[in-house]
Structure 1
């Protein structure tokens, strides 16, 4: 008899490398696009996040040897990050690179660009970003995808607020406020608050 014991980390033991990688790549064989996929890291710590990413990408794209970022959203940029089996050199470009993009270089296979979804993004928005970033018909830049997602998020929130107001109106919200603010209603309220004679 064989027993299988799954090593599931406790909440305290969970690190970025022990959790599933949140990555979606464009379908193989699609025409080259501005973005080759989307990555949703759990933090802005490249030392913690890159090992899991390269562990998945190395077999698919060839050994990732260099990564570049825009320092706008990465507080610390190490020069090198040890990853399984090798070291990745890390560089940065401020003006030349989209702040929402991670550029990956493989010595043998070429270059890939990933949209970096901010770690604090809600799961719904992240799912939308992953789907649009890997859609072969899309031609937006990384920042364009983030701006589009923000537009959809804001529109959804405004629509939700509008729906709440419609429900409030249907329950007498505006009418109740209009009645209570009319002169007749104020007179009735004032009269009700006057003390009765003899008190």
Structure 2
């Protein structure tokens, strides 16, 4: 198991995450729950920032599924905020690239991963396209968290 390093105190410590607003009632299957733009391909340093910025209502994420081709080598488990998070790899390349977050008893969330090297314009375009698709599906807007 690897201990997650504390996020650096710099401009790159800002979490770049956009989540989809969900209607209070009704269950509609939506594949993408938001978009995440990590600062680097180092999952062990980026994941603690992501998990720390998620809504409290999502509960404790204990398992994360990622495409191993997108990230630099990472351990099978990571200690984040005194909790073990299991990191699972998939070799099935998906387009767009996503990260799947699992919280027992709470749910599953799939986030579009914007490539770390994307420019502001490219990232904005990807995030807006994700928001438009999801808005069309669920009939609600997007919230920044």
Where on the TM-score scale, by shorter chain, does this alignment land: which range? 0.7 to 0.9
Report the CA distance between 1:134 and its aligned residue. 2.8
- Measure, in 1, the Cα distance between the counterparts of 2:55 and 2:77: 17
Aligned match for 1:125, one of 122, 127, 133: 122
d(CA) in 2 for partners of 1:104 and 1:34? 12
Tell me the residue number matched to 2:10: 14
Displacement after TM superposition at 1:109 (Å): 0.7
Do 1:61 and 1:106's aligned partners in 2 also have CA atoms closer than 8 Å?
yes
1:138-173 CA distances to partner (integer Å, 9 max, x unpaired)?
Answer: 57xxxxxxxxxxxxxxxxxxxxxxxxxxxxxxxxxx
CA offsets 1:88-133 (integer angstroms, 9 cap, x no match): 11011112x6261101100121111000000010101111211222
- Summarize the alignment of residues 1-199 of structure 1 with structure 2, pairs less than 5 Å apart: 14=10, 16=12, 19-29=13-23, 31-57=28-54, 59-95=56-92, 98=94, 100-135=97-132, 136-137=134-135
Contact 2:43–2:72 (Cα < 8 Å) also in 1: no
Q: Which runs of 4+ in 1 moved over 3 A?
A: none
Greater Rg by CA? 1
Q: Distance in 2 between matches of 1:132 and 1:27?
A: 15
**Bigger helix fraction:** 1
Q: Which moved more, 1:65-74 or 1:80-89?
A: 80-89
Unaligned ranges ≥5, structure 2: 1-7, 138-145
Structure showing greater relative contact order (alpha-carbon pairs closer than 8 Å, 6 or more residues apart): 2
Is the Cα–Cα contact under 8 Å of residues 105 and 112 in structure 1 kept in the other structure? Answer: yes
The whole-number CA distance in structure 2 between the counterparts of 1:66 and 1:40 is 19
What's the TM-score, normalizing by structure 1? Answer: 0.57
Q: TM-score, normalised by structure 2?
A: 0.76
| Alignment RMSD (CA, Å) | 2.2
The gaps in structure 1 that reach 5 residues or longer are 1-11, 140-199
Which protein is richer in strand relative to its size?
2
